[in-house]
Amino acid sequence: MLHAGGPLGSILVGRFGCRAVVMLGGVLASLGMVAGAFCCTLGQLYLTAGFITGLGMCFSFQSSITVLGFYFTRWRVLANALASAGVSLGIMLWPLLSRYLLEDLGWRGSFLIFGGVLLHCCVCGAILRPVPASVTPETREGLPPPSKRPARGCPAAHGRAIQRHLALDVLRHNAGYRVYTLGVVWMVVGFPLPHVFLVPYAVWHGVDEHRAALLISLIGFSNIFLRPMAGLVAGRWDFASHRKYLFSLAALLNGLTNLVCAASADFRVLVGYCLVYSVSMSGIGALLFQVLMDIVPMDRFSSALGLFTLLESISILISPPLAGLLLDTTSNFSYVFYMSSFFLISAALFMGGSFWALGKMEGQGPQAEVQGAVTEAAPEQGLTVEDTDGAKKRLRVEIMNVTSV
């Protein structure tokens, strides 16, 4: 639900803005966890802690990602990396906090505490600053346009509205978006598996349960520092046109690292695996949404993100059960990590090769002329070019910023 609610979240962002949707998400997420504390059946937990809380998290998460694109231009990559460092902090603290609360308060009391923690999303949403009305029209071009109700009884208008909200037109006309979405959806089948199976894998090989839980915290702790560093590197002007290749390289390294984990379950080897895994994970986390911002114009980013996360949710839903079925069949955890490596490596090769082919096809087109013009203008006029692939859509915005100052 954290990803499947993306299209609905994009519609709400376009209608009410990011601040209101983040606060709504905080209320829903908290309500679902508190209601879950009083559940008596597994089905009730699916509805409360699963559906309601997941949908609320989706609203808060997607709106927070979207608003970064409105706030930042030059430092957008670093902003995305710093924001995603909060995910790393949660990965580090959540297993430790969960175990402590579960031992002292039980699962019902833990759910109540979690509900209180998630309610703080409302505070985070309240301090999001709306885009001022004095911003030039060219700068506001990236904002989601207010939704327009199609005329009653007009199927064509309804169809256009659905296509716009679901970004089906972007999927149809933007080859880069198709490649990236397909590659990430394939990659995500393997990406979450180490987070799910690393601790059971270590315990199955005789590692103490508390020490095994520290492995996940180690990954989170490392990412707190590595993600901002990855953002600083990827945010450099000379890397701007290569971010999608850096993302593919990070996915490739992530897949290769899982092969090391499958080779040995010694605790020291697992610690080394977690450190190397954190490097590749930080690159994926820092660039995942930034590459999407580079590929899709900001005025369509919210709806494109909604479709992107919806398709991603399918992979996230089927990945752990599929790996669990493989584990039940083989009784060998190594095959789970081999499966993870296969999806990550194949997705990385597909994205890198496809982006290279698209670049060769478009290299002699009009966009290359625009890119060359912007690159030449940058040193002379003080323009900041983040991504030459997005030069056409950012040229007018950057010139307006310079002249207005």
Residue 402 has a pLDDT of 32
Total Cβ atoms within 10 A of residue 120? 11
Using the 3D structure, point to which of 109, 130, 151 is the last residue of a domain: 130
pLDDT tens digits, 336-351: 999 999 999 999 999 9
CA atoms within 13 A on the CB side of 137: 0
Distance, CA of 13 to CA of 360 (rounded, Å): 36
Report whether pLDDT(146) > 60. Answer: no
Distance, CA of 3 to CA of 27 (rounded, Å): 18
Structural domain contains residue 369: no
Structural domain contains residue 263: yes
Same-domain status, 201 and 122:
no
The predicted model scores a pTM of: 0.72
Same-domain status, 208 and 304:
yes
Structural domain contains residue 144: no
Both tokens of 260, joined, read 């090391």
**Full 3-state SS string of 141-204:** HHCCCCCCCCCCCCHHHHHHHHHHHCCHHHHHHCHHHHHHHHHHHHHHCCCCHHHHHHHHHHHH
Residue 183 has a pLDDT of 94
Same-domain status, 123 and 44:
yes
Same-domain status, 182 and 61:
no
Structural domain contains residue 143: no
Residue 66 has a pLDDT of 83
Same-domain status, 125 and 246:
no
Distance, CA of 133 to CA of 126 (rounded, Å): 18
Using the 3D structure, point to which of 84, 104, 130 is the last residue of a domain: 130
Same-domain status, 15 and 65:
yes
Residue 389 has a pLDDT of 44
> Of the spans 86-90, 310-314, 374-378, which averages the highest pLDDT?
310-314
Same-domain status, 112 and 209:
no
Same-domain status, 115 and 184:
no
Same-domain status, 108 and 180:
no
Same-domain status, 117 and 188:
no
Task: Count up the domains in the chain and report the number.
Answer: 2
Structural domain contains residue 35: yes
Residues 78, 230 contacting (CB under 8 angstroms): no
Structural domain contains residue 261: yes
Range of 262's domain? 167-362
Structural domain contains residue 377: no
Task: Dump the DSSP string for 69-90.
Answer: HHH-STTHHHHHHHHHHHHHHH
Distance, CA of 227 to CA of 229 (rounded, Å): 5
pLDDT tens digits, 352-364: 999 999 988 877 5
Residue 37 has a pLDDT of 92
CATH number for the domain harbouring residue 64: 1.20.1250.20
- Give CA 280 to chain center in angstroms: 15
pLDDT tens digits, 222-255: 888 888 888 888 877 877 788 899 999 999 999 9
Place of tokens 């013009």: 373
Using the 3D structure, point to which of 362, 379, 397 is the last residue of a domain: 362
Same-domain status, 219 and 299:
yes
pLDDT tens digits, 28-47: 999 999 999 999 999 999 99
Structural domain contains residue 327: yes
Which of 49-53, 84-88, 392-396 bottoms out in mean pLDDT, i.e. has the lowest?
392-396
Which of 139-153, 210-224, 286-300 bottoms out in mean pLDDT, i.e. has the lowest?
139-153
Distance, CA of 98 to CA of 96 (rounded, Å): 5
Same-domain status, 176 and 255:
yes
**Three-state secondary-structure class, residue 386:** coil
